[in-house]
Chain A
Amino acid sequence: MENNNKKSSVLRSYCLNPDINFETHEEGEKVFLLLRSHPFTQIGWIFSSILIFILLFVLNIFIKDILSSGQIFIINIFFVVFILSYILFNILNWYFNVGIVTSKRVIDIDFYAVLYKEITVAQLGKIEDITVKSGGYFESLFDYGSIEIQTAGTTEYVEFNDVPYPTDAVQLINKLLSKKHGL
């Protein structure tokens, strides 16, 4: 399925024909697309991490007169550890929340706050409606948006949030659907 002109890009948030495996991967099932949130949507926690680092420097100026050097050293260690844990936590949230398009189905793997797992699957044959939502200044500038995939008979739907090139992804899913229905 080389119809899509975008190659794997945007820091592995849009990967065509990725070399991945997942929990419910069936034999003979080919993975065509792997989607993650656009890196730009992660800017919030990146900025807050930098801000906490700056806060640490400011804090050091204030506490140098009231605490001993040993205590300041320990506070600094814990502050740095806290920031690094916060960064790791957010990277995990970004890296493992993925959308997968295969030759048989569309899968949404979500980990809420790292601890809660939710896997939503929509068989290609049951897909009824696909909606692309992209609006706003940054969405237009960086070309990212959300995709909602509605399936027949249920209120459940698969949703890929803030993924890069949503139109191309939908195009690929539509081609797979056409192939599936023999159109």
Chain B
Amino acid sequence: MDFKNIFSSINDMGIVNIFFKIVISFFAIFYYFYALVIAKQVKTMDKALQDKYNWLILFVSSFQVTVSLILLILLVIAVFLV
């Protein structure tokens, strides 16, 4: 029995699916908090040094928070409701 067959037999039991859901959920939650911390820290950095392109970096960090929140919501819907 090769690796692919072993994997399919485990997959048939639904273990992989459950494991996948757990890992992805943790990742989404972690990423959301990470994005929040980065956005907060960028504001501190912006106070420490105001340069020409700070607006862009502030925008990107806020955008990251939005993306992480959307990902988290979509994941909750995809993993637990669908």
Contact = CB atoms under 8 A, between A and B. Distances in A.
Contact of B57 (A12, A34, A81, A92): A92
Given A66-B11, A71-B20, A92-B57, A20 B64 contact: no
B64 A111 contact: no
Nearest to B67: A81
B75 A74 contact: yes
A113 to B, nearest CB: 10
Interface residues of A, number: 32
A96 B47 CA distance: 11
Contacts of B27: 78
B37 to A, nearest CB: 8
Interface in A82-134: 84-85, 88-89, 91-92, 95-96, 98, 109, 111, 114-115, 117, 119
Interface of B: 4, 7-8, 11, 16, 20, 24, 27-28, 31, 34-35, 37-38, 41-42, 44-45, 47-53, 57, 60-61, 64, 67-68, 71, 75, 78
Given A20-B50, A22-B50, A109-B48, 15 more contacts: A20-B49, A20-B51, A23-B49, A34-B51, A66-B4, A74-B75, A78-B27, A78-B31, A81-B67, A88-B64, A91-B57, A95-B51, A95-B57, A115-B37, A115-B41
Interface of A: 12, 18-23, 34, 65-67, 70-71, 74, 77-78, 81, 84-85, 88-89, 91-92, 95-96, 98, 109, 111, 114-115, 117, 119
